[in-house]
Amino acid sequence: MRRSTTTTCESIAADAGRACVSGGGARGGGDVGRAGRGFTLMEVLVAVGAIAILSVGIASIFSAIGKTVSGGRRVSQLTAQAAQIETAMRQDFARMTRDGFLMVRQQLTNTGGPRGGSLRPVPLSPTDQNTPRVRRIDEVMFFAKGEFSSSREAVSSAYETRADAARIYYGHGTRQADIGEPRPPALTDYNHYGGMLGQPNSLNTYASDWTLVRHQCLLVDTRQTQYDVAPALGLDPTNPADRKLLLDKEGQVSLQPAGLSIFRHLMPIPQTPPNPATYNPLADKTLMLRTGVRRMGSGLVDVATVTFREIRDVVVATRMMPRQFNQGPTWFTTHGPDPTGSSYIADNKSGPPFPIAQRMQAWMEDAWPTPSDPTVFQFENMLGAYNGIPMQVPTGGRIRVEPRPAHLLEALRGEGKFNSPNDRIAADYRVDQLQLAANGFLRGCSEFIVDWSFGEPDPMTGELVWYGLSRFADLDGSGAKNANEPMLTRPFPFRAFDDTMMDPFTFPYYTTSGEYIDGTQSSWASSGGAGMTVTDHVYPALIHGLTAPATAAAPMTVLNSYFGYDDPTGAQGRPWAWPEFIRVTVKLVDPQDVNTEQTFQYVFKTPGNGVSRS
């Protein structure tokens, strides 16, 4: 007999939250309970939407936090870089000496040509959506005393190049593209193939790609160098012929190439004393390991066989203009016990009757590493070889600098044009590649501005008066001045505040004989007239040369400021007026966002005029 059974729930699993269901047999009736009602489609959609909204909100919060942290990290990196820049520049300016001269060249990007050419707006990068604008590409050059070492890799530890004086230069460099097959850089290169800053279709088109150069040129007197000549490059110092090659001489220091001068027009002209008894046998150019005229624009040379005395002789006492040195005249300087004397001789010829100040300014300008001002002359006549044939060099170029040694592998492997069976030449190829990147001080420097001040307070604002190319505070970054943006600088002697002339600048000083002179203050109207000569004013032409602007609003593309030795326009023995302060403004490009710039500004003290105002 078949028995029908019914299964019942004997217990409820409360901890699992389950509902036990009674069931019948094969023919049993329906469930007596349900497992619980499910979500409807509308409820699911609402829940998913709420989760999505919550996720987006959380993601936005984390994204904002990430951007803030990332932005802060970038700002921190730029700030740290700016601090390093300030430290290096402050050290250089602290070592500045009046035994040399000081020059500031303020320049707007331009196309070059007569009468200043036309301004050249420069884009920041290929993806920059802002309108390209004109940018400042200033330069500053001065001399310093201290401990300096060549940035070129030494041949050996016995031949490390050091000096206690140097010419310091800051300014943008330019890159050079390969023309055809890559080839080794040359000492004779002016870098005119690098073109001008901002030039279209070049490696220097975009400001975010620019590099600020710090170039130190060591000043070495080869007549004073003393060291034990050690074997190097397969040369034996016990062999008289090899020893001559190893010794320092004009054009070579510690086996490294050196310029014959810091002046561009004297680079290819060896010193030739008229008296054979004073001839220096080590000045023979056939004894140099590397031949060819050394050009600072090549980016390969950072030593010159010249002294402060010779530099002063050239600037103060020459009777010729630099451009007259394209016919191969002889020249020499001598050293004597009288530090104020001059012994500069150039073929015993007297040049045209140029004003003394103009000649001095021309020679100071000739000390720039390259003819970087393209607005006066389009070409510069230079000797192509030692006492060679004159050639025309385009102006507007800068020192060559590369972001990295572009052809180092070719030099190491001896490939293509870098192949040489001569081990010395092969070693030079490698060192030259390293040197092209060694002068790069600040990559991504989209603007470099240098102003200067005599330390005068503005009578209206009480703030220091700064001089330079007319510049306003571009608060909105548009590049165009509006009514709310004040002027920051004007050329000397104009005030930026209201474009009026400052009172004539005078300063107390000690003459070369030690006499103290207290500068007197008076108006510009009194600086001349019948039977009246005022000699204690600093005249604009002394500072800015023949291009000194007659009005505050005079449009200018390039403005030079010269600060030399003794003032040829003032009372006898009065030193050339020097600024008390130099102000440097740099714009740095964010390496992670090349369309973003950040501005940093520094003020540095100079040797000034030696006497503080009471």
Report the distance separating Cα 511 and Cα 525, nearest Å.
26
* pLDDT, tens digit, 9 for 90 and up, residues 223-238: 777 667 889 888 999 9
Q: CA end-to-end span of the chain, whole Å?
A: 133
Q: Quote the pLDDT of residue 63.
A: 67
Reported as type and span, the H/E element at residue 597 is strand 593-605
Amino acid at 240: P
Instruction: Please give the average per-residue pLDDT across 415-423, as a whole number.
Output: 90
* pLDDT, tens digit, 9 for 90 and up, residues 58-68: 877 766 666 65
Question: What ranges do the domains of the chain cover?
Answer: 65-133+448-605
Task: Please list, residue by residue across 396-412, b when 16 or more beta carbons sit within 10 angstroms of its beta carbon and e when fewer do.
Answer: bbbbbbbeebbbbebbe
Q: Quote the pLDDT of residue 462.
A: 85
* pLDDT, tens digit, 9 for 90 and up, residues 439-480: 999 999 999 999 999 998 888 888 899 999 998 887 777 767
Among 510, 507, 504, which residue's Cα sits nearest to residue 580? 507
CB distance 613 to 508 below 8 Å: yes
**What's the chain's average pLDDT?**
80
* pLDDT, tens digit, 9 for 90 and up, residues 165-174: 999 999 999 9
* pLDDT, tens digit, 9 for 90 and up, residues 72-124: 566 677 888 888 899 999 999 999 999 999 999 999 999 987 666 789 999 99
Residue 348 has pLDDT above 50, yes or no: no
Residue 159 has pLDDT above 70, yes or no: yes
Structure tokens at 263: 């002046």
Helix (H, G, I), strand (E, B) or coil at 256: strand
Helix (H, G, I), strand (E, B) or coil at 259: strand
Among 397, 354, 350, 406, which residue's Cα sits nearest to residue 378? 397
Report the distance separating Cα 109 and Cα 107, nearest Å.
7
Report the distance separating Cα 139 and Cα 133, nearest Å.
19
Q: How far is CA 195 from CA 198, 264, 384, 417, in A?
A: 9, 18, 19, 23
Q: Quote the pLDDT of residue 105.
A: 97
Between residues 569 and 344, the one the model is more confident about: 569
Instruction: Please give the average per-residue pLDDT across 367-376, as a whole number.
Output: 93
Angle at CA 418, nearest 5°, toward 412 and 419?
A: 90
Quote the pTM value.
Answer: 0.83
Task: Please list, residue by residue across 286-303, b when 16 or more beta carbons sit within 10 angstroms of its beta carbon and e when fewer do.
Answer: ebbbbebbbbbbbbbbbb
Structure tokens at 260: 């014959």
Among 187, 169, 109, which residue's Cα sits nearest to residue 557? 109
Residue 29 has pLDDT above 60, yes or no: no
Confidence of residue 286 (pLDDT cuts 50, 70, 90): low
Q: Quote the pLDDT of residue 591.
A: 87
CB distance 577 to 444 below 8 Å: no
